[in-house]
Structure 1
Amino acid sequence: MSDATRTTTYDNLARFIADAFIACGMPAEDARKAGALMARADLMGKDGHGVFRLPQYVERIRAGGMNLRPEFRMIEERTATALIDGDNGLGHLVMSHATELAMAKAATTGVAWVGARHSNHAGPAALYAMMPLERDMIGIYVAVGSANHLPPWGGTEMLLSTNPIAFAIPAAERPPIVLDMATTVAAYGKVKTAAQRGETMPEGWMIDRQGNPLTDPARAGEGFLLPIGGPKGYGLALVFGILAGTLNGAAFGRDVVDFNADVRSTTNTGHFIIALDIGAFTDPERFKEGIDEVWAEMKSSPLLPGFDEIRLPGEGLARTMAARRRDGILIPAPLQARLAALADELGVAPL
């Protein structure tokens, strides 16, 4: 197998990430939790949000821009809501803590909303929306993105980020319905991945400041991402930023720190997670069987010319996870080289 097609297992990837964090001084338990979550992002096919981000996280840690030993604080709490301060910890640790809290509350209240501030980049939105599935709950996650790449509709100053949202809804025999999307046509992680792999971006992802299509990811700094649905996507990005940022006392608008370019400043990233206990509304098993029926009904639609099947949100994710469990997780050659250099710098076993 050539370097360009080298694969690794989920367990080995999680081990490598954890070792890297431990070498940086992160407590072993936190490092293993972060490693498992980041490796799961790669297992899910979210290649711009998994081990790809490790060198960037390590650089930020070394520069003093992230707290390796955060002490989470409860800022506000009511029966079904909470706001936590992540103490500038790794976003994966902050949001896994917030999600556990939301699920615990929802088990009693039926629905719970937990916000977080003073966090950092936390990986793909679906990672947290899917956690409540194991408890027969629906998960909804929103974050303020880690850098601004989107102007208000009709403007040129980048005051908004991709501000992603994810929904996860359990099914009985079918895969869960998982909608994970940025409010832009493409997430910026896909731009970074394309740049590292030397690939061209499709037209429609970005435009330059004169409104011309931008397809070279190496020139991404010369333009900005396009919102989904034009002004509708802009509106979603704005509202999600208010709910995950302003409401939580987290950064939004001009206060957002570019996580990619500034490794020293505290980002004060904001997120929220909603957990909804299906049992508060109906029998969970009957509901999940109903979702299977939704699957069947959607799949039964006649096809337009040029389409070979109807797909539901989360179907591709489920296929990717099954394939990567079976065949391994692909690590492209440029990323292999970067991770090998990182392993050497940190004195840990290579991937």
Structure 2
Amino acid sequence: MALTLPSQRWYCLLRLGTTLFRSMATSRTDSSVTETDPSETDPALSETELPKTDIDPRYRPGEGGGLVSRAEVERFITDCFVKVGCGKDSAKQQAQLLVAADYRGHFSHGLNRLEIYLNDIRKKLCDPNGEPRIMKQTSATALVNGMNSLGAVVGNFCMRLAITKAADTGVGLVVANNSNHFGMAGYYSEQAVKVGMVGLSFTNTSPLMCPTGAKQAALGTNPLSIAAPIGVGLGAEAFVLDMATTSVALGKIEIQIRKEQPIPLGWALDEEGNPTTDPQVAYNARRMMPLGGLEETSGYKGYGLAMLVEILCGILGGSNFGPFIRDWESDNEQANLGQCFIAIDPKCFGDGFRERMEHLVKYLRDMPPVEKGKPVLVPGDPEKANMEKVDRQGGIIYLPNQINSSYELAVSLGVKPMLIIEQK
């Protein structure tokens, strides 16, 4: 199937943006590097001597991509944010969010998102150094103004606050407005699990979903997540559900464009409201189908779940909502997204929460599979498997055009490119 956005056009677009990014690059050299900084052992990699034309083999992917250590990806992303004016702490929070997504195999919400965030900062649509503020609160609730900060900064602030309140009252519920795209919803719900609590997170997004029966988009992909601790001791783990209320997140369509592969029927509609398998047509139309697809396959349930998220985030938080949120990748309006974070202390409820979760999860995993060799999984299992694979191979494998576009970005900003451990 021929696509209208092959890698060659992708590179042309990136090169077109190079001049714009260079205008933002400063002479700052204070973007310190943690863990693996190639320049510490190789003077040839100093910022003033970055390769400008021929790609050094250390930055060139193989036909199957390139292996990059997690620490190196975090260093690269942090440097990029610092270069466009972001403070080191905020830059690191956003970088850790994106690396966490790629580590779990959610490439649609990782490095793939970097340039969109940088563009929002460059166009002054997001305050890279904003600090969230509590506007009103009770012992168990709070309303937070995100102050147009980076999504990870707002999300981390709000979930920490929800956890603190839950430790005192059993439940903490924090709603934020004036926020930005916060990436992978499960990143925040998992924070509660680390202290033995159940965590939930929700966000509204730019209108991308066509309500059942409608021809135009009016709601976002509106993801939701719940994470819960399982078991005790060395066998302790986490149940993590993280899902869009559309059939898939828009980023999954972007990944199919990068792979030059079609999308399954039921993911999206074209501009006439007809189902399409062309990822470029789907991306341009911005008409995602609700979870369940068409009405006859229960798409109205995904539509209803999107409304649930919108009520908790946009309506409850006093942010923009539904069709009144800016268009995705808009370059002339702040996002003002609404987000909701909940922490629940299981000790305030029925006894043996962890053990009961372990019993349920074990029962589900041990069920006879329909297809031999494909065991029954629970939410969080695929991500756990991907993290174990990344640990074994010593890093994250990125597609060739992702490596190359990141290299172009590094050159345009004047930061060190990602060092490839191994070509694939």
Same fold per TM (> 0.5)?
yes
Alignment correspondent of 1:269: 337
> Deviation string for 1:231-290 (max 9, x for gaps)?
111111112112111110111122111232x1331000111110001122245xx32222
Residue 355 of structure 2 corresponds to residue 289 of structure 1? yes
Alignment correspondent of 2:64: 4
| Mapping for residues 190-339 of structure 1, pairs under 5 Å | 190-220=252-282, 221-222=284-285, 224-229=287-292, 230-260=299-329, 262-283=330-351, 286-304=352-370, 308-327=374-393, 328-339=395-406
1:80/1:106 contact within 8 Å kept: yes
Q: Separation in 2 of the partners of 1:85 and 1:98?
A: 10
> Deviation string for 1:58-99 (max 9, x for gaps)?
111111111011132212211100011111111011101101
For residue 138 of structure 1, the aligned residue among 188, 198, 202 is: 198
Alignment correspondent of 2:102: 42
Change (3 A) 1:214 1:174: farther
Q: Separation in 1 of the partners of 2:65 and 2:211?
A: 41
2:314/2:339 contact within 8 Å kept: yes
Q: Which runs of 4+ in 1 moved over 6 A?
A: none
Secondary structure of 2:194's counterpart equals helix
> Deviation string for 1:87-128 (max 9, x for gaps)?
111101110110111111111010111011111111111111
TM-score by length of 2: 0.79
Q: Separation in 2 of the partners of 1:292 and 1:166?
A: 19
Q: Separation in 1 of the partners of 2:97 and 2:350?
A: 31
Alignment correspondent of 2:143: 83
Change (3 A) 1:305 1:49: closer
Secondary structure of 1:318's counterpart equals helix
Q: Separation in 2 of the partners of 1:165 and 1:25?
A: 31
Residue 248 of structure 2 corresponds to residue 186 of structure 1? yes
Give the fraction of aligned pairs with identical amino acids, expressed as a percent: 33
Unmatched tracts of structure 1, length 5 or more: none
- Report the Cα offset of residue 177 of structure 1: 1.1
Amino acid paired to 2:362? A
Amino acid paired to 2:300? P
2:142/2:174 contact within 8 Å kept: yes
Alignment correspondent of 1:99: 159
Change (3 A) 1:2 1:103: same
Change (3 A) 1:324 1:2: same
Q: Separation in 2 of the partners of 1:32 and 1:223?
A: 31
> Deviation string for 1:124-158 (max 9, x for gaps)?
1111111101100001111102x211122211121
Change (3 A) 1:224 1:263: same
Q: Separation in 2 of the partners of 1:3 and 1:56?
A: 26
For residue 156 of structure 1, the aligned residue among 212, 215, 227 is: 215
> Deviation string for 1:288-309 (max 9, x for gaps)?
2222211221123233357731
Amino acid paired to 1:340? Y
RMSD: 1.6
Secondary structure of 2:344's counterpart equals strand
TM-score by length of 1: 0.94
1:143/1:240 contact within 8 Å kept: yes
Alignment correspondent of 1:73: 133
Which range moved further: 58-67 or 295-304? 295-304
Amino acid paired to 1:207? L
Tell me which structure has the larger Cα radius of gyration: 2
Alignment correspondent of 1:171: 230
Q: Separation in 1 of the partners of 2:167 and 2:327?
A: 37
Q: Separation in 1 of the partners of 2:276 and 2:342?
A: 36
Change (3 A) 1:158 1:8: same
Amino acid paired to 1:336? I
- Report the Cα offset of residue 39 of structure 1: 0.8
2:270/2:281 contact within 8 Å kept: no
Secondary structure of 2:198's counterpart equals strand
Unmatched tracts of structure 2, length 5 or more: 1-60, 293-298, 419-424
Secondary structure of 1:65's counterpart equals coil
